[in-house]
Every structure is written in C-alpha cells, then in structure tokens.
Amino acid sequence: MTEITKIIGIGLLGLIIVVILKQHKPEYAIYVSMAAGVLILFLSIEKLTGIINLLNSIATRTYINQHFLGILLKITGIAFVTEFAVSICTDAGEKAIANKIEIGSKVIIITMSIPIITSLLELVIEILP
C-alpha cells in the first residue's frame, strides 16, 4: 500500500506545483509535470519486474513459447511508454505530435505481433479439415 501512497503523493505534489507555476512561470510547469511523471514511471517499473518474473515462471511450467511471451511483454512496455509520451505531449499542448506518436506506436505494435498472428493462423489452418 505504501507504493500507491508514494505514487499518489508525487502526483498530487506535482499537480500543486504545476498549478502554482502556471500562474507565475508557465514555461516551467511542463518540466515539473514531466519530472513527476518520470518519478511515477520509475516507481511503477520497479513493480513490473516481479510480474515479468512470475509470467516467465508460468510460461516455463506451461510450455508457452518464450519468444511469444517476450513479444507480448515488449508490446505491453511500448503501450505504457507511448501512453506516457502522449500524455506529456498533450499536457504541453502538442496534440498533433501526440497523435503521431500514437500512430507510430500502433504500427510498431502491429509489426511486432505478426509472428504471434502467423502462429495462430497456422494453428487454425491445422485444426480445420
């Protein structure tokens, strides 16, 4: 429970500082927002290592293809980092750049998922008469 308290505390503290800075020095508000976001991201990433280890353990015991698990984890990481970058761009008022980041990440995710999709289609073809 202390991790979520830290995350919420950093977020609220960052919010208060951003609101105050926007009144006096608005050009610095985005930097505080980014710093708070990075701190929160690092606190969250720390917990992800345990989840990744658990998934690897389950994959080993259930004979899930480790390559596919790696792809899924990378795709999930891309989605998280993309959301973070898009939020920063949106906060900075650069919605056009945020949209381009989203499009680029979707293309990369689709490209990375091709081996999994191919494997599933091959499995379906084998099952069908």
- Taking the C-alpha atoms of residue 90 and residue 63, their distance in angstroms, rounded to an integer, is 42
Confidence of residue 1 (pLDDT cuts 50, 70, 90): low
pTM: 0.73
| Alpha carbons 67 and 46: distance in angstroms, whole number | 23
Sorting pLDDT into bands at 50, 70 and 90, what band is 107?
Answer: very high
Q: What is the DSSP letter of 64?
A: -
Do 69 and 120 contact (CB within 8 A), yes or no?
A: no
69 and 118, same domain (yes or no): yes
103 confidence band (pLDDT: 50, 70, 90): very high
71 and 20 within one domain: no
Q: For residue range 42-64, what is the model confidence (pLDDT) as tens digits?
A: 888 878 888 888 888 887 887 77
- Domain range for 8: 1-64
Same domain, 110 and 90: yes
Are 24 and 52 members of one domain?
yes
